[in-house]
Amino acid sequence: MIIEGAFLKIPEILINHSDPDLLYEANITNLFTNAVILELNARNIDNPLMKIHMEKRYSKNENIRCDIYMDFSSFINDEVYKAYEIKSKNWIEAKYFGGINRNKGSETKSENAGSIIYDMFRLIYYNHNNEINEEKHGKYSLNMFNDNPQKYLAYSRKNGEPRTWIKSFLSSGVHELNFDLLSEPNSIRRIFVGVNDLKMKLKIRNTIFEPIIQKENYISFYGYLSQIIDYQLIVDGKNINKDGSN
């Protein structure tokens, strides 16, 4: 599990960073891809840099890009690893939330949460539209925080109703995630440009790292890697399923 192995290398790298307060999303994606290269080198894979593509378009016909794309088809047999959902081609959208103690920013906790679920929507929607082979393509949402996610994400709506879908991607293991766009405020709905009504039912597998001991005035990193295993979407009345049915 190359991607998961690389992800679990990140805490050690971050803890030893010379100035973690100055980390940004680009730094995190760079650290992650470097960790992937370490995993590939450990397996004696030729030309590891050629397996990684940054800002790859989902489609040649649209300028809509995925943060990271990794092609392991030269050495991974999808059929052999099918039972473990290990794929030879992988799309990864990444987010880093590190603005606390650096600047106030203009994004709300709801918007932060919305940006994560929107990444999951992008991974499914644009790949589905391009009719990819689901047996060969993996989809990952990588999210990292420089403090407890509760400081960045709105776990509940203003009426006190919990957003259970947030807990779904912050908990280790395999989980079901249910999201209804119309149940969310404008701060989240406006992120989904061109989509008025959306319902998502996902099966995701989460690999996470969190500090066991938390110290005041000390940066602690939290990481969550969610692989989308299965999905059922209804987008403005149109059904989108992993099996290719509409």
Query: What would the pLDDT profile of 162-173 be if each residue is shown by its tens digit?
Result: 999 999 999 999
Q: What is the pTM assigned to this prediction?
A: 0.93
- The whole-number pLDDT of residue 243 equals 77
Q: Which residues contact 97 (CB under 8 A, 6 or more apart)?
A: 112, 143, 144, 145, 146, 149, 152
- The whole-number pLDDT of residue 103 equals 57
Give phi and psi for 58, each to the nearest 5: -65, -35
Structure tokens at 168: 């779904």
Tally of domains in the chain: 1
Q: Among 42-56, 65-79, 132-146, 188-202, where is mean pLDDT lowest?
A: 132-146
Question: Which residue has better confidence, 245 or 12?
Answer: 12
Strands in the chain per DSSP E: 52-59, 62-71, 89-97, 137-145, 173-180, 198-209, 222-235, 238-241
Query: What would the pLDDT profile of 113-143 be if each residue is shown by its tens digit?
Result: 999 999 999 999 999 887 778 889 999 999 9
Q: What is the mean pLDDT of residues 24-44?
A: 93
pLDDT band at 219 (very low <50, low <70, confident <90, very high): confident
**Residue 16 included in any domain:** yes
Range of the domain at 139: 2-241
Query: What would the pLDDT profile of 63-75 be if each residue is shown by its tens digit?
Result: 999 999 999 999 9
**Residue 246 included in any domain:** no
**pLDDT above 70 coverage of the chain, percent:** 93
Strands in 28-112 per DSSP E: 52-59, 62-71, 89-97
pLDDT band at 107 (very low <50, low <70, confident <90, very high): low
pLDDT band at 215 (very low <50, low <70, confident <90, very high): confident
pLDDT of 106 higher than 90: no
**Residue 47 included in any domain:** yes
